[in-house]
Every structure is written in C-alpha cells, then in structure tokens.
Structure 1
C-alpha cells in the first residue's frame, strides 16, 4: 500500500527546520510529501528544494503559489493523491486555510495556536465539529510540546503517584529576542496583527505542557502583562498566578523581553511540579549530541513507622522529537487510531490562558468559562 500523500502549506523557518526533518524521520514508507504551497513561487520553490535534499527524494515535490491559477492552492487541494495537509502559515491566515482544506475533503494538521483568539477558535471548532468531523475528516493542532515524549513521561510519573497529590507548580520561560533574531525577522512577527505577539506564538507551548502535566485543568487566573521592548509590541511579558480545578496553584512567568542574553541563559527556567510526597523538575538540555527533555523526580522516603528518612532521585530523559510525534499521531488518527494528541479544544485552552493573562490586569478570570467548558 502506498503511503499517504501530504502537502505542506507554508514555506517558513519552522516548515524547513522542524517539519521536513520530522517527515524524514518518519520515513518514506510512512508518508509521502507530494507538494509545497506558498504565497510566492520563490518560497515554494525554496522549500521544495530543501525537501528534496532533506528527504533524499529523486525529484522535488510539486510547487504551488498564488500567482499562477493553474498552480494555486485550489489546484493543490483538488489533487486526489493528497490525503492531508500540514498548515504552517501565519497565525491570522491559518483559520481560513484550515476551513478551505477541510471543505476540499482534506485532513488537516495546523500549527499552533489554534486561532488568534478564543472567539475565533470557538467558531472554527464548532464549524469543524458540526460540518466536517461527521464526514470523517481529521483536524488536529500541531502543538509539539503536548506531543513531546519527555512531557508525556513526566505526566505519567505524576499519574503514577510518584510525587503524591499535586499541590503547587511553577513555569518560567525567559527569552532574549533582539532585532537580529531569525524568529523576529519574519514580516508577520515584526508587525503582528494578533494579540500578545510572541506570547501567543510561543507562550502556548508552556501552557500546553502544563495542560498535560497537571491532573486537573487550569481554571482561575490572575495576571499582568507588559511590554519591555517596543519592537516586541503589543506585549512581551506575562506574570500570572493560576489555580487548577482541584485546588493546586502555581506561578507562570513568560517573557520574550529579557534585557540581555544572560537574563535568558541564567534565569533558571523550566517547569517544576510539587506534590505531597515529592516533586519533579523538567528542563531541556543537550545530551548525546542532541536536545533532550530531562525530568528529575525526587520522592520522599519514609520508614515503617512513617518517619521521613530522606529522598530518592530518578532521572528520565527523552529525546526532543515532538514534531515527529505529532505528525505520526496525525497520520494514525487519519488511519483510525486516535491517541488524543492535538485536540483543537485542548489547544484552545492554551490560547485562553494567554488571552486571559493579557486582559486580566489582576482580576480573576475563569478559564473554563472562557472556553465554554462550564
């Protein structure tokens, strides 16, 4: 049986540096990249050349672009040999393209965030669930932190009771972005037409990690947002206190506005989750020639009388491969096996956190109510 044919819609940095290597890792027996679409011929041709090299193809994938009616997006979506598309386009562009692809009968894996804001995300999800899901079409959101084996392993350690009942947690992400950053020098990021700037684009990753780690959903948030660097408008920093529905609470610090590289490098970032019988810490490190997520689990030890006698330490390391996992999960869902990774409603709750933190100004916000969960 031939592998399912996919197309990549978008030719930016992440399509080249993350999606192509992930498709290569999955292998030609698992998936066939048939086509590339970009608004410009130059962009599509560039990614097609990269794809031929990265995937070791005999020929480049076909290219599609807006200026040629015979090779535009409609022409690509009309191809019967393309089963699904991976959408890697600017945040505000994606929702309309998701619906266009679904309307053409294609399965869709769209990059996070699910939508620029909660109302738009709710409308998009409702249309999918009422019109396209009943037709058997699969739409998943590509949130690679959710798919990371490292976060999944840490979540399993918590489910297994290794740290007892979760009581509090902390997430800190400190980034230094200057005007020379490749991530900044993208037109749709330089002048963002969506809330939060990098906070929405990158902040949803951390919230997705918390979403799979914590035993119950984040529910109540009180936070503040600010702008430290004018060129990162509209906001670049969030500090929030948050409580889950079962009473655990934590602090979330997200910034792309560090004043110097040392503030980002030495800020002791990462995630910690503390429970009644121990705690764990998760950090991304370099090991074995690549990036790994390292979870260190500290467990309280007691003797037969219940007296505390120390603690043990367990280290769990998983290679960073979230994009590969999320694409594989999408292909499995298309084939009829759904592991739950990439749920649009899960991704919407990540957007809701950022939106609430941007607008809270200290007032409590019910996150579950914001997404219509209660």
Structure 2
C-alpha cells in the first residue's frame, strides 16, 4: 500500500524547522509530501525546495499560492492524491482553512492553538463533530508538548504515586523577545490580530504540559495580565493562581516581555510538582548521547521522601530521567496512525481548547476567579 499523500499549508519558520525534519525522521515510506501552499509564490517555492532537500525527494513538491487561480489552495485541495494536510498558518487564519480542508474531504493536522479564542474554537469543534467526524475524517491539533516523552514520563511518575498526593505546582516561563528575533519578525506576530500575542501562541504549550502531568484537571484561576514591552501587544505577561479539581493548587508565570536576555536565561524556567511524599522538577536543556553528541532533552528529577520502618523521615532519594525532545515527530506519527484507524487520543481538539481557555481566562481575569470548566462548556 502506498503511503498517504500529504500537503503542507503554510511556509513559515515552524514548517521548515520543525515539520520537515519530523517528516524526514518518519521516512518517505510513512507519508509522501506531494504539495506545499503559501500565500506568496516565493515562500511556497522556498519551502518546496527545502522539502526536496530535507526529505531527499526525487520530484519537487507541487507549489500552490494565492497569486495563481489555477494553482491556488482550492486547486490543491481538489487533488484526489492528497488525503491529508498539515496547517501551519497564522492563528487567525487557521479556522477558515481547517474548514475548507475538511469540506474538501481531507484529514487535517492543524498547529496549535486550536483557535484564536474559546468561542470560535467551540464553533469549529461542534462543526467538525457534526459534519466531518461522522464521515471518518480525522482532525487533530498539533500540540507537541502533549506528546513529548519528557512530559509523558513525568506524568507517569506522578500518577504512579512516587511523590504521594499532589499538593501544589509551579510553572515558570520567562522569555525575552527582541525586535531582532526571527519569531518577532514574522509579520502576523508583529501586529497580532488575536488575543494575547505570544502568550496565546506559546503559552498554550505550558498549559498542555500541565494538562498531561497533573492527575486532576485545572478548574479555576485568578490572575493578572499586562503589557511590559511596547512592541509585544496586546499583552506579554500573565501571572495566575490556579486550582485543580482535586484541591491542589499552583502558580503559573508566563511572560515574553523580559527586559533583557539574562532575565530569561537566569529565571530558572521549569515546571515543578510537589506532593505529600516528594516532588518532581522538569527542565529543558542539552544532553549527550553515548558518542558525546549533544541533543535537546527534557530532564526530570524525582525526589522522594525516604522513611524508616516507623515512618519517620530520614532523607530523600533522587531519580533522574532524560528524554529526547521529539514532540513534533510523535504528533505527526500519532496523526498518521489516527488516519489508519489507530487513534491514541492525542491531539484532541477539545483538549487543545482547554489550553486556549486557560490563556483567555488569564487575560480576562483582572483578579477575579474564572471557572475554566464553564468557559469551555459546549
């Protein structure tokens, strides 16, 4: 059986730097990239050329763009040899493109966030569930933190009870985004037409990580949002207190508005989860393989209370787990498996909507409690 035909819609940084290498790691026997689309011919051609090189394709993927009505997005979606698309387009643009692709009977993997806001996300999910899911079409959201082996490993440790009952947690993400940043220079990020700016674009990752590690769902929060760097509107910082259904609670600090690079590099970015019998910390950095070559990895340190035969505390034990960063590859693998009727549950649009709801609640709270469950009620 020949592999499914695939098209990438969007030719930005993440399509080139993340999705192409992930496709290469899966191999051309798993999926065949047949076409690429971008709003401009130049960017579409650049992606096609890079794809041919990275994927070692004998034939250049077909190029589609908005400048030619005979080779536009509708023309791409009309092709019967393309069964699935990866949507890597600006946040505000994605819902309409997802609808268009589903209407053309294509399976869809769309980059996070699932939608610019909760209301539009709910509408899109309801439409998919009523019109396209019954037809067997697969729509998944590409949230790579959800499938990262590091976060999955940490979640297993917590659920196995190695740190006891979870009591509290902390997530800190401090980023410095200068005007010279390649991410800032992306036009749709420079003047965002959606809530939260970088907070929505990047903040959902952290919430997804908490979602897969904590044993109980997040149910309410209270916090404040602000803009601290004028070039990062409408907001660049959120600080919130959050409560889980089981009564545990935590603090989440998200900012892309650090004034200097050192504020970010020395912030101690991490997630920690504390339980009645220990705690766990998760950080991201570099590790080395057996050959001494560096790779990106998550480092999970599990510290467990050590007790004597009478239950008295006599110290603690430490376990270190390192997992290679490979979320984009795994989310693609999961998507292809779902198309083949082997669904592992990852990438569920409603789960991704909960991440958007958290960011939206943080932006709108202004110190008042927000019920996260009610916010996403369908």
TM-score exceeds 0.5: yes
- Structure 1 distance, partners of 2:62, 2:366, is 49
Give the superposition deviation at 1:309: 1.6
Partner of 1:343: 348
> What does 1:29-68 correspond to in 2, within 5 Å?
29-68=29-68
- Structure 2 distance, partners of 1:337, 1:278, is 37
Give the superposition deviation at 1:83: 1.1
Partner of 1:125: 125
- Structure 1 distance, partners of 2:220, 2:65, is 44
Matched, 1:298 2:303: yes
Partner of 2:291: none
Q: TM-score normalized by structure 1?
A: 0.99
Matched, 1:271 2:276: no
Secondary structure in 2 aligned to 1:231? coil
Secondary structure in 1 aligned to 2:161? coil
- Structure 1 distance, partners of 2:285, 2:68, is 45
Matched, 1:2 2:2: yes
Partner of 1:181: 181
Secondary structure in 1 aligned to 2:158? helix
Partner of 2:336: 331
Partner of 1:235: 235
- Structure 2 distance, partners of 1:147, 1:18, is 15
User: Considering only aligned residues, what root-mean-square deviation do their CA atoms show, in Å?
Assistant: 0.7
Partner of 1:318: 323
Matched, 1:280 2:285: no
- Structure 1 distance, partners of 2:302, 2:95, is 40
- Structure 1 distance, partners of 2:306, 2:342, is 40
Give the superposition deviation at 1:179: 0.2
- Structure 2 distance, partners of 1:285, 1:231, is 28
- Structure 2 distance, partners of 1:85, 1:361, is 39
- Structure 2 distance, partners of 1:38, 1:291, is 30
Partner of 1:223: 223
Matched, 1:161 2:166: no
Secondary structure in 2 aligned to 1:68? coil
Matched, 1:112 2:106: no
CA offsets 1:226-272 (integer angstroms, 9 cap, x no match): 01001101000000000001101000000000011000000011100
- Structure 2 distance, partners of 1:56, 1:164, is 49
Give the superposition deviation at 1:290: 1.1
Secondary structure in 2 aligned to 1:81? coil
Give the superposition deviation at 1:66: 1.1
- Structure 1 stretches of at least 4 aligned residues deviating more than 4 Å after TM superposition: none
Partner of 1:361: 366
Secondary structure in 1 aligned to 2:354? helix
- Structure 2 distance, partners of 1:94, 1:324, is 21
Secondary structure in 1 aligned to 2:70? helix
Secondary structure in 2 aligned to 1:101? helix
- Structure 1 distance, partners of 2:62, 2:298, is 36
Q: TM-score normalized by structure 2?
A: 0.98
Partner of 1:70: 70
Q: Paired residues, what number?
A: 373
Give the superposition deviation at 1:159: 1.1
Partner of 1:100: 100
Structure 1 residues without counterparts, runs of 5 or longer = none
- Structure 2 distance, partners of 1:59, 1:147, is 32
Give the superposition deviation at 1:14: 0.3
